[in-house]
Amino acid sequence: MKKTIKTKRIKIGNIYIGGGEPVRIQSMTKTDTRDWRATYKQINSLTAIGCEIIRVAVPDMEAAKSISKIKSKIKIPLVADIHFDWRLAVESINRGADKIRINPGNIGSKDNIKNIVAAAKRKRIPIRIGVNAGSLKILKESDNWLHMSSQKRARHMVDELLEYIKIFEDLNFCDLVVSLKANDVNTTILANRFYLRYRNYPVHLGVTEAGAAFSGVIKTSMAFGILLSEGIGDTIRVSLTANPCEEIRAGWEIMKSLGLRNRGIEIVSCPTCGRCETDLIKIVNSLESKLNSIAELQNCSPIKVAVMGCAVNGPGEARDADIGIAGGKECGLLFRKGEIVKKIPQRKYCEEILKEIKNVQKKI
């Protein structure tokens, strides 16, 4: 699958987004930014499993001043998330932020925005304009939002975003990234589609306040799957009420499932049925847990692992994978690149697969 909508190419730190670049996966720290040690440690943990851009909340001046310390300890671009106080944005820029994220609707006067733009121009960094459905001006003017159709909501979001974009363009600032997020799938999809009729600034995708890990991943995957398959989206964040590592893992799985990015271990496993004579659910859960605990395997070259429970689809799927097991009653056949290697007992499935992954990884 190839992206079909080409947006403007924008530099963020040491990488680019838009303009045909790979869709970048990002997250946001859940530490107190003022605690710069805890923050950079969390960022480096996320980097190890594939985070490519990180955003930090900047609620006050102490947090803004921590950015320089955090930046000195990390390797990926850092985005400062600012609300309400333009001075926090300027301080964050001066302290080394690679990008600023603001909602112009709560920054105040155009003079405040002008001050942010002047600082961003000096440091040559981009600004993301974020419009969330929950913070639109229309919410203050209308009681009908809850009863409004997704199409009308999306239209209001885009209209507000275009107003904000014009403010920046009038200031001759066009190093912009945009985001249009709602907490429902349909509004998010429609808003992003509508926007690209008018501008080509790169798009950051997200379903805001998506929820806990299980429901949030499903909701986000529905929106991202549709938009990314249409070529819409230059960066993504899976916003979960969960450990941020889950956001990165989910983001990569979405990318892999769409064929847009590929790396790490892909597990193919059967859902099990009455023919299965192996506790496959326990085995696959254990294998996935062990793989997630090995950071270097999150960023390794693509390796496909098939773990199958019986003889119906097992041998075929196992042969089609880099490493595969076709299970039986007490033991299974281990495949490597389509060839049977040996017979192994069930209790050693995880152990043998991990050994094979390390061997394959060395040869790639």
Q: What averages of pLDDT result for each successive group of 10 residues across the chain (364 residues)?
A: 74 95 96 97 95 97 97 97 95 97 87 95 96 72 70 92 95 96 94 95 92 90 96 95 93 92 83 78 86 75 82 70 81 84 86 83 61
Closest CA to 195 of 225, 156, 169: 156
| DSSP 8-state secondary structure symbol assigned to residue 199 | -
The pLDDT assigned to 244 comes to 94
- Specify the pTM: 0.89
The pLDDT assigned to 1 comes to 46
Distance CA 25, CA 209 (A): 17
The pLDDT assigned to 322 comes to 86
Distance CA 268, CA 115 (A): 52
First vs last C-alpha separation in the chain: 24
The pLDDT assigned to 4 comes to 58
